[in-house]
Amino acid sequence: MKVNNIIPIPEEEVMLKLVRLAVFGGGSFNLKDSDINWDKLMNISLEQGVLCWVWEGICKLPAEQQPPRQNRINWGLSVQEWRDSYYLQKDVLNQIISVCNREGISVLVLKGIGLSEIYPIPESRVSGDIDIYLFGDYEKGNQLFSGGNYTFGVGDKHASFIYQGINVENHLTLINTNTRKQRLVESYLESKLIDSKMVEDGYYILSPLSNLVFLIMHALSHMESHISVTIKNMVDIAYLLYKNRSSIDVTECLDVMHRIKIAKSFELLLSISEKVSGLSFMDFHENIIHKEDVQKALGMIFERCTSIEVPLSLPFFTQIKLRRSYYNNMRWKYQYLPFSRISCIVREYRPPISNAIKQRLKPIIQLMNINRQ
């Protein structure tokens, strides 16, 4: 009987290697003797939000290591579809900015398009919607772009509506403000809005350090909810540090993480980002996270399951019982999350008060308007 010399490589590992090759320009590997299920790899890449990056990595491989022709055609068509979506989002964002300029409203773009600009090929950083923050003109924005026809997101941090065929999330707050720690981080991010940078397209993006804090909190919120964090989110953190290593002061960064009480969370996400990107950010580390926890977190990301979704139709105490059972089985995860044990189990949301937020932002908005003149 002939021995099969084909060495199987998990599609997840191949995906990470191709992302490193495309985004960070590092690493070389040989798929010649490997049995790759290209359809499975494509599906995983799509789920993890890295479809375009993996395709770019494939294009850098020698011809003999690339997938069969039909797979390449399917992949190329899917990538073009995502990039067309990006161009459509850019057009809609330009319309939003044009309307806001006429109304004297400043626009801050979060995640998605705002983050895509730091990548070599912006359209390869896929996004499902447009996230905007209007510096206190939240209600006015809702009326301008939705005519009052909008829904609230989780924790009431943003309104969601369709504008010109694209889903837009208009943020009342930058992050969720359900817990004391989250409100502490929100206050920090608001205080640093004055450092936001305006890009050529006429909108603002967060400063590198504020963006890092924002991305950490965004990833943590997905780790806590039933909507899973993805490899794309980890690449964002790694690439932001990679691109801004010289402009983010390490001492200031670590001081901020301690001050807003997310230092341990930062350590975990930094370790995962290093594992995903193949880079090392040792100067940002204070304590090394247990390798077992990093592996558990990666496994959780690949399984696309970070929490349980408890039906709100169930009796209140039944919901608590189910959440408590899940919490007890996932203690390793919750020690890194900025949520208290009680809030994780009870989920007692306290919606933010928009008028109070407006008052806090008034001096910042005035300064930003002066800087624009």
- Whether the pLDDT of residue 361 is over 90: the answer is no
For 313-335, write each residue's pLDDT tens digit: 888 778 778 878 877 777 888 88
227 or 158: whose pLDDT is higher? 158
Q: What is the reported pLDDT for 316?
A: 78
Q: What is the reported pLDDT for 167?
A: 92
Q: What is the reported pLDDT for 356?
A: 58
- Whether the pLDDT of residue 139 is over 80: the answer is yes
- Whether the pLDDT of residue 124 is over 90: the answer is yes
Distances in whole angstroms, Cα of residue 90 to Cα of each of 114, 169, 282:
10, 15, 36
pLDDT confidence band for 6 (50 / 70 / 90): very low
- Whether the pLDDT of residue 273 is over 50: the answer is yes
pLDDT confidence band for 340 (50 / 70 / 90): low
151 or 188: whose pLDDT is higher? 188
pLDDT confidence band for 339 (50 / 70 / 90): low
For 44-69, write each residue's pLDDT tens digit: 999 999 999 999 999 998 888 889 99
Distances in whole angstroms, Cα of residue 70 to Cα of each of 1, 163, 211:
32, 36, 40
Q: What is the reported pLDDT for 169?
A: 92
Q: What is the reported pLDDT for 55?
A: 95
Q: What is the reported pLDDT for 148?
A: 67
Q: What would the two tokens of residue 129 be? A: 């919607």
pLDDT confidence band for 349 (50 / 70 / 90): very low
pTM over 0.75, yes/no: yes
Per the prediction, the chain carries an average pLDDT of: 84
